[in-house]
């Protein structure tokens, strides 16, 4: 029989969880159980690869210490790795005994969290140990506590050797019906290989740099793909032009990726619309073609786009407000 112990505490002197798992290990070894212990704080950079160590295990002990709140980051990382990279068929055959000791508050919640997580993974949780031990001395010199630990270890041995069955839980139903990992279909071997890459910090950093470089290349290409269409939008503005008494203005629309600006000159009932350059303008607008398409389609207005920050404007604010009256696309 093989049992793995995954310790998620920080390895501090006086940690009551370490005392408990040491005693459990002694009992299990007396029963000829092969016990392997993994201290997660010592192998924190390789936690994502640990699910592959479950393959030869008949049972596991998940042990952690609540020092202020929750089961701690290392244990949570290990459970995350089991969900993302673990072979669920393998985990479904493994019995798990939770051990959660607290020096503050929350040992019962911590034990329940690990039990629930293992059930969602598809595994078989069994009765574990939890307790509030503010001082390790109160644990070391009480034989009744040792007897409780020994009984729990023996119970774990019997559960595994007799392959005790248990009623199905709703947490396992959640796994089957709702909680599906959002990734491509990978074999267990491919998933295990992926976990090794995820644990390689140099590989991850290199991939991030490559992605950043490619993003920059494509961004520059998009920036340089300037539109050379000197007819687009001109007819749209001419068709919707509604003269406004006393409005005389030059509008310059700087449209992203267009080679030239769209110039709109209004002098009472006269209108000129063309692509070009204008040294002077009463109002300068900067926007992209998608925003201008929405305005021309009547889905939005210049005023709303400016107020929402999707379009910038410089110049006479009153003339900007008049633009929607000159060209009432939304009517």
Token pair of 101 as six digits: 């000791």
**For residues 79 and 116, what is the distance between their CA atoms, to the nearest angstrom?**
11
* SS3 call for 285: strand
Length of the chain: 331
Q: Write down the pLDDT at residue 37.
A: 95
3-state secondary structure of 179: coil
Distance CA 272, CA 106 (A): 74
User: What is the Cα–Cα distance from 88 to 280, expressed in whole angstroms?
Assistant: 68
Backbone region of residue 145 per phi and psi (left: phi > 0; alpha: psi in -120 to 50; beta: other values)? alpha
For residue 135, the model assigns a pLDDT of 87
Q: Kindly report, residue by residue over 206-233, the tens digit of the pLDDT.
A: 767 777 777 776 666 555 554 445 678 8
pLDDT computed for residue 130 by the predictor: 94
Residue 249 has what pLDDT? Answer: 92
Strand 261-267 relative to strand 270-276, pairing: antiparallel
Can you tell me the distance from the alpha carbon of 120 to that of 176, in angstroms, rounded to the nearest whole number? Answer: 9
Q: What is the distance between the alpha carbons of residues 153 and 5, in angstroms, rounded to a whole number?
A: 12
What are the CA-CA distances from residue 126 to residues 10, 55, 180, 220 (Å)? 25, 19, 24, 57
Distances (CA, A) of 142 to 25, 128, 145: 18, 19, 6
Stretches in the chain below the pLDDT threshold 50: 179-181, 183, 226-228
Q: What is the pLDDT of residue 176?
A: 56
User: For 263, how many CA atoms within 13 A lie in the half-sphere containing its CB?
Assistant: 13
Q: Please give the domain boundaries of the chain with CATH numbers for all domains.
A: 2-199 (3.40.50.360), 234-326 (3.30.1050.10)
| Residues 82-127: tens digit of each pLDDT | 998 888 899 999 999 999 999 988 999 999 999 999 999 999 999 9
């Amino acid at each position: 029989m093989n049992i793995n112990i995954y310790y998620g505490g920080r390895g501090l002197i006086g940690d009551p969880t370490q005392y408990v798992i040491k005693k459990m290990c002694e009992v299990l070894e007396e029963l000829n159980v092969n016990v392997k212990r993994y201290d997660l704080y010592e192998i924190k950079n390789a936690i994502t690869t640990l699910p592959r160590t479950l393959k030869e295990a008949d049972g596991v002990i998940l042990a952690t210490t609540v020092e202020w709140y929750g089961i701690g980051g290392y244990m949570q990382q290990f459970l995350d790795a089991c969900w993302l990279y673990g072979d669920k068929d393998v985990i479904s055959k493994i019995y798990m005994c939770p051990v959660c000791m607290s020096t503050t508050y929350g040992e019962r919640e911590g034990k329940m969290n690990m039990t629930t997580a293992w059930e969602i993974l598809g595994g078989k949780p069994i009765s574990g140990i939890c307790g509030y031990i503010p001082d390790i001395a109160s644990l070391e010199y009480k034989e009744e506590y040792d007897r409780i630990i020994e009984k729990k270890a023996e119970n774990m041995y019997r559960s595994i050797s007799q392959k005790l069955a248990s009623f199905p839980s709703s947490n396992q139903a959640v796994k089957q019906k709702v909680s599906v990992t959002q990734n491509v279909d990978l074999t267990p071997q491919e998933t295990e290989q992926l976990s090794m890459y995820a644990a390689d910090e140099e590989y991850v950093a290199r991939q991030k740099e490559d992605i950043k470089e490619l993003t920059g290349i494509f961004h520059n290409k998009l920036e340089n793909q300037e539109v050379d269409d000197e007819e687009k939008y001109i007819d749209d503005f001419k068709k919707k032009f509604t003269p406004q008494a006393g409005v005389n203005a030059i509008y310059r629309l700087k449209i992203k990726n267009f080679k030239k600006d769209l110039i709109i000159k209004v002098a009472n009932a006269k209108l000129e619309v063309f692509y070009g350059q204008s040294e002077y303008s009463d109002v300068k607008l900067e926007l992209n073609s998608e925003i201008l398409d929405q305005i021309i389609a009547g889905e939005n207005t210049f005023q709303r786009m400016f107020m929402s920050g999707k379009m910038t404007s410089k110049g006479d604010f009153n003339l900007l407000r008049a633009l929607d009256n000159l060209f009432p696309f939304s009517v």
